[in-house]
Structure 1
Amino acid sequence: MEGMNITMTLLSCLAFMTLVGYISYQKTKGEVNTQDGYFLAGRGLTGTFIAGSMILTNLSAEQLIGLNGSAYGYNLSSMAWEVTAGVSTIIMALIFLPRYLAGAFSTLPEFLRDRFDDTVRRMTVILFMVGYCFITIPSVLYSGSIAVLRLFDVPTLLNMSYEASLIVTIITVGSVGAIYAVFGGLKAVAVSDTINGVGLLIIGILVPTLGLIALGDGSFSEGLSTLVNTDTEKLNAIGSEDDPVPFGTIFTGMILANLFYWGTNQYVIQRTLGAKNLVEGQKGVLFSGYFKVLVPFMMMIPGVIAYHLYKHESLPTIDLAYPHLVKEVLPQYLSGFFLAVLLGAVFSSFNSLLNSAATLFCLDVYKPMKKNKVTDSQLIKVAKITSIVIAILSFIT
């Protein structure tokens, strides 16, 4: 019976991932043969795809574990990282984005060259490329794969050792993400992100709902009453100096860090540069900020629910709170869908980083080096090779 459940989980996971891949292919077929088509989705992205891609690029499996673990072990103070992003997205939409789109820029370094000079552009490219290739991409791939292993007990699922399962997960996530980035360009990334984002939203609502029902012994209202009236210190969002996010840090750097991330980080803002127009771009960015404000309810309340359910069980680590809750409340028939969404969340961040790194290299290094005398087909070929090389480096790193 267990073997049948594992088979059904893997088959349903594969089916959903295949559906996402097919839809992404149909949406991008014949649209990635030009520079703008490959790197900026033909500058035709609507607000829905921009918001879906930005959110899923930002959220990943390790955040499901980390934020819920923080809520389980401490309180809701870590929500500051999420809700303050709303302020940054407003600034991005109203101040930065109009300037980016007015100049029809393809990358942030290109904007900085226009604002300052080529020296600033080159320095920014070096910082982004080194950071993406040797720090961000490998860490996102590794931490995301670790999260999937913890959430879904992949060693048991595949009947393999932990080390072997980690290698398989890394290669699987990296390979699938690379396929979207290499062959589909930014539009394939945005489309797949949006579909997986809908899946993540469904899971994000379903898990706390089922958790509250379990907490109330079958009654949602009883579970909600227990949540808001028992151990209420767990719902405190004003962090003390001993909490993961002390309240003062919000005003001494967190908002600036969020402003960099949402307003000037190439792999996040690239989909806004491909907006159909300013209105669609602003809608996408503001929708992203709206959903970031909702993140604590989907990614932290389950941790509080887990505390009420398992506080007497002494979990080995707070990072096991969310996996334990999911295993207890999520129906078996949804396990494959859940696994597919988790994998989608991980390779979303990976393929976005890969696509942006290739974009920076091609448009801010290779093209200027050739004195702009390069055809679109040559540029796209170089981008695909660059993406493959960076992907392989990330596996090794």
Structure 2
Amino acid sequence: MEGALSWIDLAVILIYFVFVLSVGWAVSRSISTGDDLFLAGRSLGVAAVGFSLFASNISSTTLIGLTGQAYSTGLSVANYELMAGFLLVAMAFSTIPVFLRLKMTTVPEYFERRFGGGLRKYVSVLTIFLTVFVDMAASVYAGVVVLRTFLPAIPFFPLSVGLAVIAGIYTAAGGLRAVVYTDIAQAIILLLGATVLTFILFGEFDYQWSNVIQSLPSGHLSLVRPLDDPALPWLGLVIGVPVLGWFYWSMNQYVIQRVLAARNIETAQRAAIFAGLLKLAPLFIMALPGAMALSLLPGLENSDQVFSALVAEFLPVGLAGLVIAGLIAAIMSTVDSTLNAATTLVLHDFLEVDRRSWSSERILAVGRWTTGGLMVIATLWPLVIREFPGVFSYIQQVFSYAVPPVVAVSLLGLFWRRARGRAMLATLIMGHAIGAGVFIYRASYAAMEIPDGLPHFTIVAGIATAVWMAVGLVLSEVMPTQAGESLEGVVRRTDLTVTARLWFADVRILGAVVAILTLLVIVVFR
């Protein structure tokens, strides 16, 4: 499915590159402090935070992985996106008020405030690993896979270097403000490009939904699948996907960093709910095209190539450039977000710049050099990821074994006052040791193409979270309190008071609307 881009398509892509680099240069002129670099001066509004939450999440791995997985296994993969609607609403009334009242800079800082210093570095190391080796590197890999379809003469590695370097330049220069401003444009380009592709593909079925249904296997367009479904069984949807989503939206630094940059709590809450509304779109403009592609382009061997095949086969000159620009936007959005987040974690959780008497110039210099170092990893690790069968599967499976202990500890810390630091640290260590063993066990059996006898990884994630919450509860009763633990301001309060004067601006009503719309979509496509 290789196809050369026209000069018009290449011009559209070039204009995009010039735009993002210009934004980075322009914003860098206003960066004077570490707070500007890491949190945009804590001054962002609803649209900026909401669009940035959406764009940083809808990365190239989502655009390519979601489309490819829908081609292979059906529409149920869109549940990962739809579940975000519920979770972003929950986040608006749980973690956002706590985190913003504490005026934190990093998520691991919460664990230090709640349980003492030991958990901060543990969670920070884990978050940096997942951010750099899963989110960031997988986004670069997914982007290179598609771009090589249209630029086959350029080898894998040089493309990987180019994508990482461009994102690294404007991230290091402009910090989070540059990341967020480019995210707004990237989200719009991505939504426009994917919508155009969906509309054209739907035209292949004469714009008749009944024709789409008849052309695909039974159940391919169903979101709720049987218990033995290999892609996403209904039990995994109920108990596992929320676990992965809770970590991603409430405990993931590169997501929360945007929330922490909001000007106040209510702004952050509205932005999260707005992002939850936007998360309805991927079902229709990313997963659905992948599902329809099974009828339009049968027999594709590599599911990660589905998106590029659709672009090459169905989009005319000019529009292909727009959609590829949308893909590049998605790549940049995640790479810049993860670079900035990982840099923030290194400087605040390990170098502890907020506790040193460093000048603003030194903090900015160290931050930019750190971004450069992480950028090198982003260029190299995709060489490893390409050996894994399916980028979306790579991401979800790594997360499903890494995050359950963190989710268990975070929920206990937020909602149970008797949770104790030593007990939580022991829970994390045991949880990750056993999780790593299970992952290795499953990977070895998968390599031999032998059934491993374990449930779907989403079911395992749900069960593991429940188990580690129980372990944390028991250990908290038998292990003593350690120095540094606190309850002041770090346990979730039940206050839902808002200051909105108009009913339609009330975050409680807005949240309920998004939750109901998400539920209706699931019911319609059940």
User: How far 1:83 sits from its partner (Å)?
Assistant: 0.9
Farther off after superposition, 174-183 or 321-330: 321-330
Q: 1:262–1:128: structure 2 CA closer, same or farther, 3 Å change rule?
A: same
Aligned pair count reads 378
Aligned match for 1:236, one of 203, 218, 222: 222
Does the 8 Å CA contact 2:145/2:305 hold for their aligned counterparts?
no
The amino acid of 1:259's aligned partner reads W
1:356 partnered with 2:341: yes
User: How far 1:332 sits from its partner (Å)?
Assistant: 0.8
User: How far 1:8 sits from its partner (Å)?
Assistant: 3.0
Secondary structure at 1:84's aligned position in 2? helix
CA separation in 1, counterparts of 2:157 and 2:5?
23
CA separation in 2, counterparts of 1:60 and 1:147?
13
CA separation in 1, counterparts of 2:145 and 2:215?
33
Q: Within 5 Å, give how 1:313-332 maps onto structure 2.
A: 314-332=299-317
CA separation in 1, counterparts of 2:108 and 2:321?
41
Tell me what 2:389 maps to. Answer: none
Q: 1:385–1:94: structure 2 CA closer, same or farther, 3 Å change rule?
A: same
Tell me what 2:358 maps to. Answer: 374
Farther off after superposition, 202-211 or 113-122: 113-122
Secondary structure at 2:279's aligned position in 1? helix
Aligned match for 1:339, one of 315, 324, 329: 324
CA separation in 1, counterparts of 2:372 and 2:20?
21
CA separation in 2, counterparts of 1:67 and 1:135?
16
Tell me what 1:75 maps to. Answer: 74
1:203 partnered with 2:161: no
Does the 8 Å CA contact 1:214/1:329 hold for their aligned counterparts?
no
Tell me what 1:178 maps to. Answer: 168
TM-score scaled by structure 2? 0.68
User: How far 1:134 sits from its partner (Å)?
Assistant: 4.4
User: How far 1:203 sits from its partner (Å)?
Assistant: 1.2
Tell me what 2:123 maps to. Answer: 124
Tell me what 1:278 maps to. Answer: 265
The amino acid of 2:225's aligned partner reads G
What is the Cα-based RMSD across aligned positions, in Å?
Answer: 2.3
1:391 partnered with 2:365: no
Farther off after superposition, 95-104 or 112-121: 112-121
User: How far 1:256 sits from its partner (Å)?
Assistant: 1.2
CA separation in 1, counterparts of 2:312 and 2:156?
20
Task: State the identity as a percent.
Answer: 27
Alignment gaps of 5+ in structure 2: 382-526
More helix by share: 1
Q: 1:120–1:310: structure 2 CA closer, same or farther, 3 Å change rule?
A: closer
The amino acid of 1:233's aligned partner reads G
Does the 8 Å CA contact 1:31/1:42 hold for their aligned counterparts?
no
CA separation in 1, counterparts of 2:355 and 2:294?
60
Tell me what 1:256 maps to. Answer: 243
User: How far 1:371 sits from its partner (Å)?
Assistant: 4.1
Q: 1:64–1:140: structure 2 CA closer, same or farther, 3 Å change rule?
A: closer
CA separation in 2, counterparts of 1:251 and 1:261?
16
Q: 1:230–1:34: structure 2 CA closer, same or farther, 3 Å change rule?
A: same
Tell me what 2:394 maps to. Answer: none
User: How far 1:348 sits from its partner (Å)?
Assistant: 1.5
Q: 1:154–1:67: structure 2 CA closer, same or farther, 3 Å change rule?
A: same
Q: Deviations over 1:24-43 (max 9, x none)?
A: 544x2543111211110011
Tell me what 2:276 maps to. Answer: 289
User: How far 1:23 sits from its partner (Å)?
Assistant: 4.2
Q: Deviations over 1:115-167 (max 9, x none)?
A: 22111212222222344344543333223322433xx4320xxxx2xxx5212
Report which structure shows greater RCO (CA 8 Å, sep ≥6): 1
The amino acid of 1:290's aligned partner reads L
Tell me what 2:477 maps to. Answer: none
Does the 8 Å CA contact 1:208/1:305 hold for their aligned counterparts?
no
Q: Within 5 Å, give how 1:83-232 maps onto structure 2.
A: 83-149=82-148, 152-155=149-152, 160=153, 164-216=154-206, 220=207, 223-228=208-213, 230-231=215-216
Q: Within 5 Å, give how 1:22-33 maps onto structure 2.
A: 22-23=22-23, 25-26=25-26, 28-33=27-32
Secondary structure at 1:13's aligned position in 2? helix
Q: 1:36–1:225: structure 2 CA closer, same or farther, 3 Å change rule?
A: same
